[in-house]
């Protein structure tokens, strides 16, 4: 793979979400934020469960990825993608609401 890793991470706001919510009242953004936080918690739990399953019988000598490992990677990617959206919504709201 030719992808180079960048060890410096910066939060990136998702511009489409900023545009989508730019004219919405704070109450609407807060409702969406609470929903996104709840969804993120579920995705974290799912990724953790997938990790446990994928690594329960893991061996170093395996040449091809198993279904459990691929499911774990997909769950983790979904969790991080949703976290980017959540971070953007939190930045728009300007605070973390009680959940």
The whole model's pTM is what?
0.81
CA 14, CA 36: separation in Å to the nearest integer?
Answer: 14
Mean pLDDT for all residues in the chain: 88
Domain count, the chain: 1
Contact 60, 38 (CB under 8 A): no
In this structure, what CATH number is given to the domain that contains residue 40?
1.10.287.160
- Note down the domain range covering 76: 25-93
4 in any annotated domain: no
Q: pLDDT digits over 8-41, tens only?
A: 556 678 999 999 999 999 999 999 999 999 999 9
Q: Which DSSP symbol is given to 30?
A: H
Count, in order, helices (H) and strands (E) of the chain: 3, 0
Q: pLDDT digits over 41-87, tens only?
A: 999 999 999 999 988 866 666 677 789 989 999 999 999 999 999 99
38 in any annotated domain: yes
Q: pLDDT digits over 74-86, tens only?
A: 999 999 999 999 9
């Amino acid at each position: 793979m030719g992808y180079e890793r960048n060890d410096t991470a910066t939060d990136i706001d998702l511009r489409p979400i900023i545009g989508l919510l730019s004219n919405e009242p704070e109450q609407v953004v807060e409702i969406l934020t609470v929903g996104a936080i709840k969804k993120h918690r579920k995705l974290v739990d799912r990724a953790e469960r997938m990790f446990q399953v994928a690594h329960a019988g893991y061996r170093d000598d395996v040449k091809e990825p198993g279904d459990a490992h691929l499911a774990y990677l997909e769950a983790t990617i979904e969790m991080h993608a949703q976290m980017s959206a959540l971070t953007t919504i939190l930045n728009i709201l300007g605070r973390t609401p009680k959940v």
